[in-house]
C-alpha cells in the first residue's frame, strides 16, 4: 500500500509547461515551504520576485533557485505583511521599478500564533493572512490591469471550513483561539477572492482574462506549525500522510499558469481541480461586508 497511498496523498500535479517569458510574478512568503517551491517552479518559466519579511532567508532561497534554474531574474524584496507601512513601501518600490505585473501569488501566512497584534493593531492571523494581502492587492491592482492577461492567486486552506467572520470581534479581543483564528483568516481569503472576482468581472467584460482564484495546497509538511509543539510532533509522526512542499505547491502553480484557467475566476481549487467551498465561503453578503470592513480598517477606498 506504500507507493499508492503516497500517490494518493501527493495529490494533483500541474502538467502545464507554459512559459512566462517577459512576464513578472510576485510571490509573498516564498523563502520556505510551499512558497519556495512555487518560486522554484515559476523561476523555470519567467521572472520571479520573492517578497518576504526575512531578507537573509529569502536571499538564501533565491540564490539556491537561481543556481538550480539558471534564471538570474529571481529577485528578493522586503515585505512585512504585519505592517501596512512595509506593504506600502514594497508596492511603491515595485511600481517604480517594474512596468508590468502578470501574476500575484498571495502565499505568505501565519498559523497558530499565540495572541498578538500587527503593527497596526490587527489580530495577527487576520492581519497577515487577510488584511495584509488585501492591501497589497489593492496597491498593485492597476499594474495588474495594465498587464492583462493577469492572475491573482490566493493561498487559502481546507481550514476555511472551520472559519467564520466574527464581525463583532474581528481582532479576537473578547475571545481568542489560535486554531480558530487561523480558520477565520483562511475563510477571509476565500471570501476576498470571491468578491474580488465579482468586482473584476463587472468592470471588464472584454477582459475575462483578469482572474482571481483561491486554493487549498493540501496538508503540507512545512514550518507553518512551528508555533505549536503538539502540531510539530503530530506532523513528524504523520509526515508519511503529508504532502511535501513541492507537492503542496502544485495547485498554486496550476492556478498561476494553467492554460485552461485563463478565463476561470472566483473559484477555489485543491489538487489542481475545483473543490468544495463551505457555505460560509459562498456567502456573498458576508463577502461584501468583509470587503467594506477591510477597506475601513486599512483606510482605503476600493470601489
So which residues are the catalytic ones?
A: 182
Task: Tell me whether residue 273 is exposed, middle or buried, using C-beta atoms within 10 angstroms of its C-beta: 0 to 12, 13 to 18, 19 or more.
Answer: exposed
Q: And the C-alpha cell for 81?
A: 505583511
State the maximum Cα–Cα separation within the chain, in Å, rounded to a whole number: 55
**Rounded to whole angstroms, how far apart are CA atoms 161 and 184?**
9
Q: Give kind and range of the element (H or E) at residue 105.
A: strand 103-106
What secondary structure does DSSP assign to 242-296, as a single string? Answer: SB-HHHHHHHHHHHHH-GGGTT--S-EEETTEE----GGGG-HHHHHHHHHHHHH
Can you give the C-alpha Rg of the chain in angstroms? 18
Asked if the bond preceding 98 is cis, omega within 30° of 0, the reply is: no
DSSP state for residue 119 in the 8-state scheme? T
Beta-strand pair 74-78/103-106: unpaired
Q: And the C-alpha cell for 282?
A: 459562498
Q: Are 147 and 104 in contact (CB under 8 A)?
A: no
In sequence order, what are the residues at sequence separation of 6 or more whose Cβ sits closer than 8 angstroms to the Cβ of residue 92?
none
Q: And the C-alpha cell for 74?
A: 529571481
Q: And the C-alpha cell for 38?
A: 512555487
**Percent helix, strand, coil in the chain (nearest 5)?**
50, 15, 30
Amino acid at each position: 500500500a506504500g507507493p499508492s497511498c503516497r500517490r494518493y496523498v501527493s495529490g494533483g500535479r500541474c502538467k502545464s509547461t507554459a512559459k512566462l517569458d517577459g512576464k513578472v510574478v510576485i510571490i509573498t512568503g516564498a523563502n520556505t515551504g510551499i512558497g519556495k517551491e512555487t518560486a522554484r517552479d515559476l523561476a523555470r518559466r519567467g521572472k520571479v520576485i520573492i517578497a518576504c519579511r526575512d531578507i537573509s532567508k529569502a536571499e538564501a532561497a533565491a540564490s539556491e533557485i537561481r543556481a538550480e534554474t539558471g534564471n538570474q531574474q529571481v529577485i528578493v524584496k522586503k515585505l512585512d505583511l504585519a505592517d501596512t507601512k512595509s506593504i506600502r513601501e514594497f508596492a511603491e518600490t515595485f511600481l517604480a521599478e517594474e512596468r508590468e505585473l502578470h501574476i500575484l501569488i498571495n502565499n505568505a501566512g501565519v498559523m497558530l500564533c499565540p495572541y498578538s497584534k500587527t503593527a497596526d493593531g490587527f489580530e495577527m492571523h487576520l492581519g497577515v493572512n487577510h488584511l495584509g494581502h488585501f492591501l497589497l492587492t489593492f496597491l498593485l491592482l492597476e499594474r495588474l490591469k495594465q498587464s492583462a492577461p493577469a492572475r491573482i492567486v490566493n493561498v487559502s486552506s481546507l481550514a476555511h471550513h472551520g472559519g467564520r467572520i466574527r464581525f463583532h470581534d474581528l481582532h479576537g479581543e473578547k475571545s481568542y483561539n489560535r486554531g480558530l483564528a487561523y480558520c477565520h483568516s483562511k475563510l477571509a481569503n476565500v471570501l476576498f477572492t470571491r468578491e474580488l472576482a465579482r468586482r473584476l468581472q463587472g468592470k471588464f467584460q472584454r477582459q475575462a482574462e483578469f482572474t482571481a482564484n483561491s486554493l487549498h495546497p493540501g496538508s503540507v509538511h512545512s514550518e507553518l506549525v512551528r508555533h505549536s509543539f503538539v502540531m510539530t510532533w503530530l506532523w513528524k509522526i504523520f509526515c508519511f500522510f503529508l504532502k511535501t512542499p513541492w507537492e503542496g505547491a502544485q495547485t498554486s502553480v496550476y492556478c498561476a499558469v494553467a492554460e485552461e484557467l485563463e478565463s476561470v475566476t472566483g473559484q477555489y481549487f485543491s489538487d489542481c481541480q475545483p473543490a468544495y467551498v463551505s457555505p460560509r465561503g459562498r456567502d456573498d453578503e458576508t463577502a461584501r461586508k468583509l470587503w467594506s470592513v477591510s477597506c475601513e480598517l486599512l483606510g482605503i477606498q476600493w470601489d
